[in-house]
Amino acid sequence: MNMPVTEDQAAEIAAQRAIERPTRRTVSPALEERLYRPVPVLDRGFIRVVDYMGDDSAIVQAARVSYGRGTKSVRDDAGLIGYLMRHRHSTPFEMCEIKYHVKLPIFVARQWIRHRTANVNEYSARYSILDREFYVPEPDQLSAQSAGNRQGRGEALEGDEARWVLDTLRRDAETAYDHYEAMLNEGEGADPGRRGLARELARMNLPLNVYTQWYWKIDLHNLFHFLALRGDAGAQYEIRAYAEAMLKTVRAWAPLAYDAFVENRLGGAELTAGQLAVVRRMIAGEEVTRGTSGLSKRVWDELQAALAG
C-alpha cells in the first residue's frame, strides 16, 4: 500500500498531535489517541478524525435533559442508549458531532455526497492542481457485472482478463493526467510561449478514479445512517472500506452508542408487516413456503436472508 500522506503532511500531523490543550469539555480518551492520525483506506486514500464534540454521556444527558455525565452506572447508560437506538429516538444522538478529513476517489465521493445531512468542503480543482494519484483496484476486487443485480458485481475476473483491465485503468489514468498537465502548462516543463487552459476547464478531462479530498462534518445520528447503508455487505466495496474504517473511530469515540448500533442496526433486521406475519406463522409451527407466504419472490428472499443471518 502506498503512503496516503506526503512527508510534509506527516510532519504537520506530528506537530498537531504534539500540542496538548487543557479543557473542561468532555473528551473521549480513546479517540484523543487517534486524533489527526490518518487511517489508510484503499491504495492511496485515508480517513482521519480532526475534531469531535460529545460522547456517550452527551447522549444520555440530552435524553434525560440532566446535569452532569449521566447516571451512576455505565450499565444504566448502556440500557438507555440501547432503548433510544431500538426506538429510533434520534435527537439525543444528534448532540454528538465529528469531523473527518477524507481522501477518496472521485467516483466514491459522488456516491458519498448523496448523504446530504453533513457539512462538506471539498478540495477545489478550480483553484488548485490535483495530484497524480489514481485508485487502481486490487486484482481480487475485479469482477464481472452481476447477472441479477444491475448495480452489483458478479464473478471475479482472472488471468488475462484481469491483467487487461488493470493495465487499461493505469494507462488511461496516466494518459489523462499527462494531458491535464499539458493543458495547464504550469510548473516544470511549461512552454513559456503557450497559454495554459484555465484550471476549472482542464480538470474535466480527468477520470473518476483520481483522488480528491474533503472535510466532512456530521452528527452521530446521521453518521449511523450513513454507516448502516455504506457498511452493509451489499454496498460497493470501495465506499464500504471507508465505512468500516469510520466504524472503528465511532467505537473509540462512543463505545456504548457503537454497541447499540451494531446490535440494533448492523446486526439486526427490519421486517415488513407481511414478513412478520410469516415469522409468526413459523413460530406457531406452520411450514410456510414461498407459494403460501403471500410474499413476492424478492421479499421472500430478503426474509430468508435475514433469518439465515
Could you please report the per-residue DSSP string of 23-41? Answer: -SS---HHHHHHTT--EEE
How far, in whole angstroms, is CA 241 from its chain's centroid? Answer: 7
CA gap 241, 253 in Å, rounded: 19
- pTM, full prediction: 0.90
pLDDT of residue 67: 61
Residue 46 falls within a domain, yes or no?
Answer: yes
The whole-angstrom separation of Cα 69 and Cα 6 is 40
Query: Which is the catalytic residue, given 48, 203, 230, 265?
Result: 230
* CA dist., res. 257 & res. 262, Å (int): 9
Q: Match 506530528 to its residue by C-alpha cell.
A: 14
Range of the domain at 190: 138-207
Nearest to 4 by CA among 123, 190, 117, 131: 131
Question: Is position 2 within any domain?
Answer: no
Residue at 224 is within a domain: yes
- Do 51 and 172 reside in the same domain of the chain? no
Residue that is last in its domain, among 162, 179, 207: 207
Same domain, yes or no: 96 and 193: no
Residue 230 is among the residues annotated as catalytic for this protein: yes
pLDDT for the residue 71: 53
Place of cell 435475514: 306
Task: List pLDDT tens digits, range 267-307.
Answer: 888 899 999 999 999 999 999 999 999 999 999 999 998 89
Cα–Cα distance, 39 to 37 (Å, whole number): 6
Q: Cβ distance 255 to 56 under 8 Å?
A: yes
Q: Is residue 160 part of a domain?
A: yes
88 and 230 assigned to the same domain:
yes
Nearest to 153 by CA among 143, 138, 139, 161: 143
Whether residue 220 sits in one domain with residue 98: yes
Q: Long-range contacts for 74-80 (Cβ within 8 Å, ≥24 apart)?
A: 74/256, 77/256, 78/256, 78/259, 78/260
Per-residue model confidence as pLDDT tens digits over 197-225: 999 999 999 999 999 999 999 999 999 99
Residues 73 and 194 in one domain: no
Low-confidence ranges of the chain (pLDDT < 50): 1
The pLDDT of residue 156 is: 86
Residue 238: what pLDDT? Answer: 97
Residues 22 and 94 in one domain: yes
173 and 32 within one domain: no
Q: How far is CA 209 from CA 35, 112, 159, 238, in A?
A: 28, 14, 23, 11
Q: Please tell me the distance from the alpha carbon of residue 94 to that of residue 61, in angstroms, as a whole number.
A: 12
Q: What is the pLDDT of residue 35?
A: 96
Q: Which CATH number belongs to the domain containing residue 75 in this structure?
A: 3.30.1360.170
Residues 201 and 224 in one domain: no
User: What is the residue-wise DSSP string for 117-167?
Assistant: SSEEEEPPTTTSPPPS-B----GGG-EEEPSS-TTSEEEEP-HHHHHHHHH
Per-residue model confidence (pLDDT) at position 127: 92
Could you give the CA distance from residue 303 to residue 293 in angstroms, rounded to a whole number? 11
